[in-house]
Amino acid sequence: MNLTRRAFLASTSALFLAPATFASGGEVPFDRNDVVALARDLVSRPFAEREMVPQEWQDLTYPQYRSIRFRLDRALWFETETPFNIDFFTPGLYFPRTVQVSTVENGMTKPVAFDLEMFDKSDEVPQLPVDETLGFSGLRLRTEMHRPGKTDEFCVFQGASYFRAIGLHEVYGLSARGLALKTGDPDGEEFPEFIRFWLERPEPGQRNMVVHALMDSPSVTGAYRFNVTAGADCTMEVEATLFPRVELDHVGIAPGTSMFLFDQTNHGRFDDFRPAVHDSDGLLIRNGVGEVIWRPLANPTRLQVSSFVDTNPQGFGLMQRKRAFSDYADLEAQYHKRPSLWVEPQGDWGKGTVTLVEIPADQEIYDNIVAYWRPAEPYVPRQQVDMSYSLFWGEEPQRTPMPRVINTAMGENTFGEGRLAVIDFEASELFEDPEALNIYVQSPHVETSEGVLQRNPDTGGLRLAFSFEPGDRDHVELRAQLRLGKQAASEVWLYRWTT
């Protein structure tokens, strides 16, 4: 399950095309139902691997591939009244198969042809074969953000069904996917791929852009529509229609993929000058009854899966709460500028679990965190499954009314036996009289000490500390919360301690 950020994007899939239509270069009518029809047609056919690009492209080294850069003056809709520009990526290296890209204007679609002249490259890049079958490996959206008259990138689709976005003044971090299949299963994970894209041309002054995608894999096909709006937070309204080829008993809806290496809970495992290294530091859940749950992320020594049973969740997502440079002290990676991602379901999602998969990692190049919604009932073959949800990318795209957990630390209990857990809650009007608060600390595995609550002069909030003795257990589940009477006065803090 260890996947490098670049290698996991090289997963393969099948491709069904309408070859004559695409190759002709002519315009044809288009709407979202056409993508749904393509997905439905695909599922009626046996899965077939699509061809890889010539070997010369696959043999590019990482520095060579990085040195092939798109020319901004060749962007789609460059220097027009259209408020968005589109850049493209070449295939090669970790992207051995191409995607087809078409534009949609006035209800008609036509293909965007690959042209190597769209790219500048260094002298280290060898001669590469180009013919009419070659395509792009992905695309990047640009619009005017914070520099008047200039465009900035804010969203990328590239590799398998992965895509990522940022809000204003942020840098790329975690990714989302169209679908996750069998994540963490012993027999291995399957990575569906977006194989075609359609880009609706926005009108002058329009702040949103619509991207359609066709997905395929050995187990499922799908049609996706992304309504993307750039801004302080990047928002996406997602419509997905799935057609399983086989019974899908472990499917992940609206998955997010991130990286967590260490923080104050496990810094002793890493000889590193930085206080923390992660793209996300916790899973936030607002379940179907409105309870707010904060689960700090972990980098375990063995694969672990946590399931939060729910019915019709109100939202969930991987958050990056620590926002100060001093939290990471990394001038290059700028982890303090990485976005959080909040998923907000639309409609009735029924019974299932918010699932968190944490994979052991020893370097920050590994994306080892996955969070998604897993429906309780399997999807049956040829069943049409329609899902819709919103994605919010930004510094804090979801703020619940509960005082937040802003830090978790673990260590040896120097005042007694066992381990010490320290939880910091942010300042809140609910904390004006700490003595009025009730402390709830629980574990199904061990006895815990009574919690001690103190004012934290640095944050203005409260610090809760308690100890527990794990004994010979290899893991301990912990739960804590502050309450005023029977009413919640903080998020529910959940944690899985492991040896």
How high is the pLDDT of residue 1? 43
Among residues 246, 153, 141, which one has the least CA distance to residue 192?
246
Is pLDDT above 90 for 99? yes
Render pLDDT for 441-452 as a digit per residue (tens, 0 to 9). 999 999 999 999
Q: Where are the beta strands (DSSP E) in 92-179?
A: 100-105, 108-111, 119-120, 138-144, 151-158, 162-165, 175-177
Answer yes or no: is pLDDT of 24 > 60.
Answer: no
- The confidence score (pLDDT) of residue 330 equals 98
How would residue 144 be classed by pLDDT, with cut points 50, 70 and 90?
Answer: very high
Residues counted in the chain: 499
- CA dihedral (74, 79, 83, 88) in degrees, to 10, reads 0
| Tokens encoding 427 | 């300042």
Q: Does 23 score more than 80 pLDDT?
A: no
Long-range contacts of 229-232 (CB under 8 A, 24+ apart): 230/141, 230/143, 230/145, 230/154, 230/155, 231/167, 231/168, 231/207, 232/167, 232/168, 232/394
Average pLDDT over residues 130-155: 92
Residue 149 has a pLDDT of: 83
What amino acid occupies position 432? E
Per-residue pLDDT, 131: 86
Is pLDDT above 90 for 381?
yes
Tokens representing 138? 């992905």
pLDDT digits (tens, 9 = 90+) for 265-323: 999 999 999 999 999 999 999 999 999 999 999 999 999 999 999 999 999 999 999 99
**What's the confidence (pLDDT) of residue 183?**
96
CA distances from 470 to 37, 335, 413, 419, 443 (A): 55, 33, 12, 8, 11
Percentage of the chain with pLDDT > 70?
95
pLDDT bracket for residue 214 (50, 70, 90): very high
- DSSP classification of residue 73: G
Residue 345: the pLDDT is 98
Question: What are φ and ψ of residue 117, in 5° steps?
Answer: -70, -10
DSSP 379: B
pLDDT of 474 higher than 80: yes
Find the helix or strand (DSSP H, E) in which 62 lies. helix 62-66
pLDDT tens digits along 403-441: 999 999 999 988 788 999 999 999 999 999 999 999 999
* CA atoms within 13 Å, Cβ hemisphere of 316: 28
Buried residues in 418-438 as b, exposed as e (16+ CB within 10 A): bbbbbbbbbebebbeeeeebe
- End-to-end CA distance of the chain: give it in Å, rounded: 20
293's enclosing H/E stretch is strand 292-296
pLDDT band for position 66 (50/70/90)?
A: very high
HEC string for 207-270: CEEEEEEEEECCCEEEEEEEEEECCCCEEEEEEEEEEECCCECCEEEEEEEECEEECCCCHHHC
In whole angstroms, what is the distance from residue 278 CA to residue 340 CA?
12
In this structure, what token pair is assigned to residue 486? 């029977």
Quick check: helix, strand or coil at residue 45?
coil
- Residue 25 confidence (pLDDT): 55
Round the average pLDDT of the chain to a whole number and report it: 93
Specify the pLDDT at position 12.
Answer: 31
Residue with tokens 């990522």: 164
Measured distance CA(325)–CA(337) in Å, rounded = 8
The CA distances from residue 205 to 66, 84, 85, 143, 485, in Å, are 33, 10, 13, 11, 52
The SS3 call for residue 66 is: helix
